[in-house]
Amino acid sequence: MIECRICGGVVEEFLDLGRQPLCDAFLRPADIDAEFFHRLAVGCCETCTLVQLAEEVPRTRMFHEGYPYHSSGTSVMREHFARTALGLVETELATADSFFVEIGCNDGFLLRKIAESGIRHLGFEPAAGVAKVARERDVRLRMDFFEESTAAAVRETEGPADVIYSANTICQIPYVDSLLRGVDALLSPDGVFVFEDPYLGDVIERISFDQICNEHFYLFSVRSVRAMAERFGFELVDVQRLPVQGGSVRYTLARAGARRPAPSVARLLAEENAQGLTEPDTLRGFASSVTRIRDDLVGLLRSLQDQGKTVVGYGATAKSATVTNFCGIGPELVSYVCDTTPAKQNRLTPGMHIPVRPPESFATDDPDYALLFAWNHAEEIMAKEQRFRETGGRWILYVPEVKVV
């Protein structure tokens, strides 16, 4: 039996994606024999409805010096973070002595925008490689994990925070109980904890099963976040749907009774209840759809292989590891994956060991088809790669169904 990490309730598994590697561990050929694997299965707590992984991967394995993900790697995310920083400055950081803390500041793009507004700030980032990039942006940084002990240490030296913010990070932290105790220790009496993460409702609706990976320990819903907040003395006071990262929600927590909840909280809760979002039948239906997508995608790739067509991947995303390993897609079906991240280039994808090449390969090789792993940036990518379509190339998508465009 699996116990919920938050409330201790029983977690019922509804989808097993099998043996999986670390989704962001792009390998040198010499490192293949030492590759780490784990069982990737996801379940739902019968008590608080928090969707979570069945097994935890040690955080030091995931967030290490070579961690390759840069949160500001696309123009869409840079624009998103710039707007977010401006909004927080205008609404929550308006006084001269305001203090802003970011959990998982990654390459420091948003934190730099806060700094440019003259706001006192501090970022937490345990991965040395991206922390170095953040420091080059001249922001204040603590290379550490945010948890109860480190938050208390910052409170002692820096005073209380008016805003604690995080993007695409809280869902990655199994020990969220310690994190929320840290928020309690550091947050000012009238401050807010604002975080945004992939939304369970979008994952279920779009059948975007690749959002399930070792880095996404939780898939939050409004109902589960509200229950989690109440357990630690907070209240969910606002929610906002976001189009980024394949569909996210921004949650705003305040101390219980400090703020009146916005109408958006009740609205989205009502939507979840009407959808039966975490009902067993809904989750089992999602699992069946995932199996169908796997069978359809592999069938299409094998058919193209039989026709002598060339297929490459586009975007060596963390999500792509879930797809390729669950579906058994290796270099015999997808000859390589192109990606703009230098740290991933000339390496092999996790588990299935497909070569990763720079974008120049895609521009010069003229493949027949491109399997779009970075589907959440489809509009931006297809606009950039118009020549591919003009020369007869076609895109393969698999969210929410397998199709060729």
268 burial level (CB within 10 Å; 0-12, 13-18, 19+): buried
CA 92 to centroid of chain Cα atoms: 25
* SS3 at position 371: strand
Give the tokens for residue 150. 């480190």
What are the structural domains, with CATH classification, of the chain? 75-280 (3.40.50.150)
Q: Would strands 120-124 and 141-142 be described as parallel, antiparallel, or unpaired?
A: parallel
φ/ψ of 128, rounded to 5, equals -60, -40
- Give the DSSP letter of residue 316: -
Q: What is residue 67's predicted lDDT score, i.e. its pLDDT?
A: 62
Q: What is residue 355's predicted lDDT score, i.e. its pLDDT?
A: 98
169 burial level (CB within 10 Å; 0-12, 13-18, 19+): buried
Residues in the chain: 405
Q: What is residue 76's predicted lDDT score, i.e. its pLDDT?
A: 87
Identify which of 317, 361, 353, 312 has the alpha carbon closest to the alpha carbon of residue 335.
Answer: 312
Asked whether 395 and 369 are in contact (CB, 8 A), the reply is yes
What is the spatial distance between Cα 16 and Cα 54, in angstroms, rounded to a whole number? 9
Q: What is residue 217's predicted lDDT score, i.e. its pLDDT?
A: 97
What is the spatial distance between Cα 181 and Cα 232, in angstroms, rounded to a whole number? 7
Asked whether 43 and 13 are in contact (CB, 8 A), the reply is yes
262 burial level (CB within 10 Å; 0-12, 13-18, 19+): middle
Answering whether pTM is above 0.75, one says yes
Non-local CB neighbours of 273 within 8 Å, separated by 6+ positions: 223
φ/ψ of 249, rounded to 5, equals -130, 135
Non-local CB neighbours of 263 within 8 Å, separated by 6+ positions: none
What is the spatial distance between Cα 11 and Cα 47, in angstroms, rounded to a whole number? 8
CA dihedral in degrees (154, 158, 160, 161; nearest 10)?
Answer: -80
Strand order from edge to edge, sheet including 248-255: 141-142, 120-124, 99-103, 161-167, 187-198, 248-255, 234-242
Cβ-defined contacts of 142-145 (< 8 Å, 24+): 145/59, 145/63
> Which residues sit opposite 242 in a β-bridge?
248
Q: Give, for all 405 residues of the chain, the pLDDT tens digit.
A: 899 999 999 999 999 999 999 998 999 999 999 999 999 999 999 999 999 999 999 887 776 556 666 777 788 899 999 999 999 999 999 898 999 999 999 999 999 999 999 999 999 999 888 889 999 999 999 999 999 999 999 999 999 999 999 999 999 999 999 999 999 999 999 999 999 999 999 999 999 999 999 989 999 999 999 999 999 999 999 999 999 988 999 999 999 999 999 999 999 999 999 999 999 999 999 999 999 999 999 999 999 999 999 999 999 999 999 999 999 999 999 999 999 999 899 999 999 999 999 999 998 999 999 999 999 989 989 999 999 999 999 999 999 999 999
Give the tokens for residue 240. 């906002």
Neighbours of 46 (CB within 10 A): 14
- Give the DSSP letter of residue 152: H
What single-letter amino acid sits at 343?
A
Q: What is residue 64's predicted lDDT score, i.e. its pLDDT?
A: 54
Give the tokens for residue 222. 């409004």
What is the spatial distance between Cα 211 and Cα 216, in angstroms, rounded to a whole number? 7
φ/ψ of 348, rounded to 5, equals -120, 145
What is the spatial distance between Cα 220 and Cα 196, in angstroms, rounded to a whole number? 10
Q: What is residue 265's predicted lDDT score, i.e. its pLDDT?
A: 98
Angle between helices 222-231 and 176-186 (to 10 degrees): 60
